[in-house]
Chains A and B, each alone.
Chain A
């Protein structure tokens, strides 16, 4: 187990290194110098430019720039965000927790809802309910994230004003509320973006889980259980679900990229101050250090996510555990 953990960690580190290289390439193959916004600005004095050049080693040959870059990354220095006028790591440090909050809640919610739907479908397979739920989950699965986001924003904040319109907290009142009030405020603002993401993601989970459960059901041990006289529900609960647990965990690991992409659009539409919104705006302002920083952090998140999923899988699967 420890050996497995060690091997996976090394793997993860290698992946992050490659992502960093790709990010470095991204900065430099783009037509136009990423620092030109500052460097070509004639109002900026030569002394400032020289300082930036020295700091980032812009006048050095490319390999040396790369080494410098990697060194900075290792120290946690992701560069300077021009559009925010503060270090990239500082901008992301405030933004990433918001994205994580959204993703974790969406993950938990979508898995809970998706598995529930799958269970219902399998318990009544072949019935009208099963068909209807399949159609609905296919519908939401095929839907572009931003479309549902826009519709949700309009429906539940404007036509039926139930939720506040975007943001993480009330911009005016939050600081002055009591602890209870602040929690409620946060929840109210979290509700709609999280629900939208949950609906979008649970469709995929439901479909996947239904297929996984159906695969497991014909198995021998299930037939034995049926012969033993257990009810369908007990079978589902005791045997099928536990064995379909493994695919759930692997799906967990696979969900991260899609969830991150979904969060990206949702953050933009609901003005949720997370990493996705920061990167979208950074792209508009051509703040490449922030874009690349976001890409790196995003990749790290995805890698860690799949690493965790793999570990969970290894722990859950008794076959793997005994080696």
Chain B
């Protein structure tokens, strides 16, 4: 009897040992992913971050209640998959949603995830003391209650198709027991901000500023162990250094290849590229208000016909081809083709230089003194075009646009500014025109903030050019209020057509993100808003591993230990 027990125990032990490195799906786990990135994360708190890197890292460390589907549908809960919440129930009047927390969900320090964590996250995010940029995005949520430790109920002010999206997408859940003791105003520099504890499939290991961020697989995670043991961000602000590292095999994944890099990568048989539909579009935005006095319209751009003329003078297709080659399409408007609500056949203002010149003549802008620049009432058709020096593509767009508009008789001064300086000028509306780019959210409703009247009037709005059109606003609102996908599309089409014809900006490029990766990596589908969304499913076959894949994995380093490790 004892021998049998012992034998059974032995079998159990052996089977456990054998399956120790096998993930639930059967593919062997292991391997290291090194991502080449251009900058440090700014802060590892979801509610406060603004850099892409910080978003990537926190998306792997923290979980949301549910994850958006790859199709980016945001109407009700279609397409969403469970994360922290394993199921949810709608209230009878649909003004509430009760989320049931997965009982196996645990924080990386071992403590269980409770509904109080959800309530705490909501309360902190919406507390004005924290100063979170997420706050204006979740105004429809009234409160979160916790009838028991496993249920969190979201209560909404009004019924809207985006209810579920608002509750789940905007707020990764944070551990109350870690953050409760710290005053909101002190979150920024606190210890937990430097060593985040989440419930996601990856744990934080270390962050060496300007060098490396490392995450390790949470093998005991409630959703299963991710297939890659480690994810490392290798930071190289200099593009040359970054791409050279990738081509030399020091990194495995390059986020944003430029046109000339694609040809380079093709020369390396062990590297591949992949392109996907993104959520970014670039444009040249006009300031419709006078920077000297925002109550008055801009002396040049206040006139709709002039803006249309400038758009007509721009050969957008050639411009985009020149800067991006095949890595971008001409933009349709303030939108991207990845949205299910965008009609790819939106009517555009055509490129017609002679017609543009005619219109400018008829508006009174003529070149009286033969210097090639038009004037009207003594004022030359001259303005500054502000662009951030950090984006090569945008600088190129600016210089090319400068020359194209010169052919139409306008003098453009390209001002290359540091990114924060540019943002400050935009906030203060102290600019004439600017080359901008929006990396939008999965919800097409984000266009309200950047082109709607609300975004123009409010100090935190991002409608820097002050375009205000009641027709546009009404159509966007109607679209967002519709539960029927085709109705939403129709309304958005009307809204986009309005803004295209009003020409508050020259719509330039819709970027097609192109990534480079090492062929041993098996990728999962790349979601348009976040290619890293399914990193937990990426894997490396055992026979293709290289030395750094097999390096021992560090467990999450406690703060006191890593303090010594900080100096490289």
Q: A residues near B, CB below 8 A?
A: 32, 36-37, 40-45, 47-48, 51, 80, 83-86, 91, 93-95, 97-98, 150, 153-154, 157-158, 161, 164-173, 175-176, 268-271, 273, 277-278, 280-281, 283-286
Kindly list chain B residues whose C-beta atoms are within 8 Å of the C-beta of A286: 418, 420-421
The reply to whether B418 and A285 contact each other, CB–CB distance below 8 Å, is: yes
Could you name 27 residue pairs across A and B whose Cβ atoms are closer than 8 Å?
A32-B421, A32-B424, A37-B424, A41-B131, A43-B133, A45-B130, A94-B208, A95-B210, A97-B567, A158-B248, A164-B248, A164-B250, A165-B241, A166-B236, A166-B244, A172-B34, A175-B554, A269-B240, A271-B238, A271-B241, A273-B211, A280-B237, A281-B39, A281-B237, A284-B418, A284-B419, A286-B420
In the bound complex, what is the Cα–Cα distance between A128 and B230 (angstroms)? 58
Q: How far is the CA of A286 from the CA of B423 in the complex (A)?
A: 11
Q: Closest residue to B264 on the A side, CB-wise? A: A158
The answer, yes or no, to whether B189 is at the interface (CB within 8 Å) is yes
Extra 18 A-B pairs, beta carbons < 8 Å, given A43-B133, A273-B211, A284-B419: A32-B421, A32-B424, A36-B424, A41-B131, A43-B131, A43-B135, A45-B128, A45-B185, A47-B129, A85-B188, A166-B236, A172-B232, A176-B552, A268-B238, A269-B240, A271-B241, A273-B208, A281-B237
Query: Is there contact, CB below 8 Å, between B250 and A165?
Result: yes
Report the separation of the CA atoms of residues A268 and B130 in the bound assembly, to the nearest whole angstrom: 35
Instruction: Indicate if the CB atoms of B209 and A91 lie closer than 8 Å.
Output: yes
Query: B568 to A42, Cβ gap below 8 A?
Result: no
CA gap between A80 and B188 in the complex, in Å? 11
- CB-contacts of B443-493 with A (<8 A): 458-460
Task: Verify B240–A98 contact, CB threshold 8 A.
Answer: no
Query: Please, which residues of chain B bring their CB within 8 A of the CB of A98?
Result: 568
B 408-459 contacts with A by CB, 8 A: 418-421, 424, 427-428, 458-459
> CB-nearest residue of chain B relative to A41?
B131
Give Cα A83 to B189, complex, Å: 12
Please judge, given known A-B contacts A157-B244, A169-B568, whether A43 and B460 are in contact too, CB under 8 Å.
yes
Evaluate contact between B424 and A158: CB separation under 8 angstroms: no
Which residues does chain A contribute within 8 Å of B548, judged by CB atoms?
A: 172-173
Contact A171 to B212, CB < 8 A, known contacts A42-B460, A94-B566:
yes
Query: B: which residues have CB within 8 A of A?
Result: 32, 34, 39-40, 42-43, 128-133, 135, 185, 188-189, 193-194, 208-212, 230, 232, 234-238, 240-242, 244-245, 247-248, 250, 389-390, 418-421, 424, 427-428, 458-460, 547-548, 551-552, 554, 565-568
Which of chain B's residues have a CB closer than 8 A to the CB of A85? 42-43, 188-189, 193
Residue of B nearest to A270 (CB): B241
Q: Chain A residue with minimal CB distance to B557?
A: A175
A44 close to B131 (CB less than 8 A):
yes
Q: Are A84 and B209 in contact (CB-based, < 8 A)?
A: yes
Q: Across chains A and B, which 5 residue pairs bring their CB atoms closest together, nearest first?
A: A286-B420, A44-B131, A42-B460, A166-B241, A42-B459
Q: Whole-angstrom distance between the alpha carbons of A93 and B420 in the complex?
A: 25
A154 to chain B, nearest CB (A): 8
Please name all residues of chain B whose beta carbon is closer than 8 Å to the beta carbon of A268 when the two chains form the complex: 237-238
Residues of A within 8 A of B420 (CB): 37, 285-286
> Which residues of A are found within 8 Å of B34, using beta-carbon distances?
171-172
The majority secondary structure among interface residues of chain B is: loop
Pair B209/A48 contact, Cβ less than 8 Å: no
Query: How far apart are the CA atoms of A270 and B240 in the complex, in Å?
Result: 9
| Complex contact A168–B424 (CB within 8 A) | no
**B568 lies within 8 A of A168 (CB):** yes
Residues of A within 8 A of B428 (CB): 40
Specify the chain B residue showing the minimal Cβ separation from A47.
Answer: B129
Which of B240, B389, B421, B568 is A273 in contact with, Cβ under 8 Å?
A: B568
Q: How far is the CA of A157 from the CA of B250 in the complex (A)?
A: 11
Chain A: CB-nearest residue to B134: A43
Q: A43-B131, A43-B133 are in contact. Are A150 and B390 (CB under 8 A)?
A: no
Could you say which residues of chain A place their CB within 8 Å of the CB of B193?
85
**CB-defined contacts of A176 to chain B, threshold 8 Å:** 551-552
Q: Are A173 and B244 in contact (CB under 8 A)?
A: no
Bound Cα distance from A278 to B211, whole angstroms? 11
- Contacting residue for A171 out of B189, B211, B566, CB 8 A: B211
Q: Are the CB atoms of B241 and A45 closer together than 8 Å? A: no
Tell me whether A277 and B210 are in contact (CB under 8 A).
yes
Residue ID in chain A nearest B236 by CB atoms: A271
Closest chain A CB from B563 CB (angstroms):
11
Q: How far is the CA of A223 from the CA of B210 in the complex (A)?
A: 58
Please give, as numbers and ranges, the residues of chain B lying within 8 Å of A32 by CB-CB distance: 421, 424
With contacts A169-B568, A171-B232 known, is A284 near B129, CB below 8 A? no
User: Do A94 and B209 have beta carbons less than 8 Å apart?
Assistant: yes
Nearest opposing residue in chain B for A38, CB measure: B131
Residue of chain B at shortest CB distance from A84: B209
State the CA gap A168–B188 with chains docked (Å): 28
Residues of B within 8 A of A175 (CB): 554, 565
Bound complex: CA of A169 vs CA of B211, how far in Å? 9
Which residues in A have their C-beta under 8 angstroms from that of B128?
A: 45
> A168's closest neighbor in chain B, by CB?
B568
Q: Which residues of A contact B458 (CB under 8 A)?
A: 42
Q: Among A97, A167, A269, which residue has the most Cβ atoms of chain B within 10 A?
A: A167
- A40/B424 in contact, CB under 8 A: yes
Q: Are A94 and B244 in contact (CB under 8 A)?
A: no
Bound-complex Cα distance A281 to B551 (A): 32
Q: Which of B189, B240, B244, B460 is in CB contact (< 8 Å) with A86?
A: B189
Q: Among B209, B237, B389, B567, find the residue whose CB has the most chain A CB atoms closer than 10 A.
A: B209
> What is the bound-complex CA distance between A48 and B128, given in angstroms?
10
Q: Are A153 and B131 in contact (CB under 8 A)?
A: no
When chains A and B are docked, how far (Å) is the Cα of A44 from the Cα of B548?
A: 42
- Please, which residues of chain A bring their CB within 8 A of the CB of B248? 157-158, 161, 164-165
Query: What are the residues of chain B within 8 A of A37 when measuring CB–CB?
Result: 420, 424
Query: Are the CB atoms of A48 and B131 closer together than 8 Å?
Result: yes
A153 pairs with B189, CB closer than 8 A:
no
By a CB distance below 8 angstroms, the chain B residues around A84 are 40, 209
